[in-house]
């Protein structure tokens, strides 16, 4: 993993950065010296507590609160992305519904917030990253979305998440020579505060190890990729399960 301070002078925008995996990514990048712009949805107190914690370590931390129900709600995040050296998009709603039960609104919501939103933020960020000849982008896929396959109840969510691989490979093809990388992390089953006890039991049964991953372990992988001086990997879909 990168040494402390290796990201000093860099600014990271973490979308969904006040809870779950995003919070641990924020901690890990702050430990490497990155200044942070943390996006939170509705729980301002949780965000402010994290800002105080990370600011105590000597990095600059700013909180941006924005509840995102549609792509039109993301204009402020687009502005923040345009100035970021590092973009981590860990936000995306989950929906479990059989394919024949999906409504038009549900399809739109899944596609907008799990694919179009990350795509918009990447589009907002890459030109300035290329000008500065430095950029690191991490997008989060969903469990089991490293490659296309059939899904019983999460087809819309998974289809959108699989599309992130196209974005990552497009960034690599178009901006890799300017030292801009984009990779998709597919984290497997992760134990966060958003899971119910029933979820934890169900997911543990499906996990190859019989255990749920800890968010801080996923954050270490993210930090490894972000701190790579060689600009590799790039355009990769990294499945952690």
The pLDDT of residue 169 is above 50: yes
Q: What is the DSSP letter of 184?
A: E
The CATH number linked to 111 is 3.40.50.720
Residue 179 domain flag: yes
Position 220 in a domain: yes
Could you give the CA distance from residue 172 to residue 161 in angstroms, rounded to a whole number? 18
2 within some domain: no
pLDDT band at 207 (very low <50, low <70, confident <90, very high): confident
Number of domains in the chain: 1
- Report yes or no on 3 lying in a domain: no
3-state secondary structure of 101: helix
State the pTM of this model: 0.94
User: What's the domain range around 127?
Assistant: 11-239
pLDDT bucket at 172, cuts 50 / 70 / 90: very high
Q: Is residue 78 part of a domain?
A: yes
The helix, strand and coil proportions of the chain, stated in percent and rounded to the nearest 5, come to 45, 15, 40
Is residue 94 situated within a structural domain?
A: yes
CA distance 202 to 195: 10
Mean pLDDT of 159-164: 97
User: Among the listed ranges 20-34, 65-79, 202-216, which one has the minimum average pLDDT value?
Assistant: 202-216
Decide if 5 is inside a domain. Answer: no
Question: What pLDDT does residue 10 have?
Answer: 97
54-111 confidence digits (pLDDT tens) = 999 999 999 999 999 999 999 999 999 999 999 999 999 999 999 999 999 999 999 9
Q: C-alpha distances in angstroms, 67 versus 38, 79, 93, 107?
A: 13, 16, 12, 19
Is 167 inside any structural domain? yes
């Amino acid at each position: 993993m990168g040494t402390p301070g290796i990201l000093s002078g860099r600014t990271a925008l973490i979308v969904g950065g006040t809870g779950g995996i995003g919070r641990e990514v924020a901690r890990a990048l702050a430990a490497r010296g990155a200044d942070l712009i943390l996006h939170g949805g509705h729980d301002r107190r949780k965000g402010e507590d994290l800002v105080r914690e990370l600011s105590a370590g000597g990095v600059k931390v700013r909180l941006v609160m924005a509840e995102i129900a549609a792509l039109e709600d993301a204009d402020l995040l687009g502005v923040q992305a345009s100035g970021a050296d590092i973009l981590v998009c860990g936000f995306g709603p989950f929906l479990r519904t059989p394919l024949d039960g999906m409504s038009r609104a549900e399809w739109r919501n899944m596609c907008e917030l799990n694919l179009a939103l990350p795509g918009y933020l990447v589009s907002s960020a890459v030109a300035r990253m290329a000008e500065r000849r430095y950029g690191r982008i991490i997008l989060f896929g969903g469990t089991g979305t490293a490659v296309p396959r059939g899904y019983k109840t999460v087809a819309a969510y998974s289809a959108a998440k699989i599309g992130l691989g196209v974005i990552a490979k497009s960034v690599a093809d178009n901006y890799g020579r300017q030292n801009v990388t984009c990779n998709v992390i597919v984290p497997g089953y992760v134990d966060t505060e958003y899971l119910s006890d029933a979820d934890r039991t169900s997911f543990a049964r499906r996990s190859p190890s019989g255990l749920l991953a800890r968010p801080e372990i996923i954050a270490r992988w993210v930090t490894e990729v972000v701190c790579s001086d060689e600009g590799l990997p790039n355009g990769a879909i990294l499945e952690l399960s």
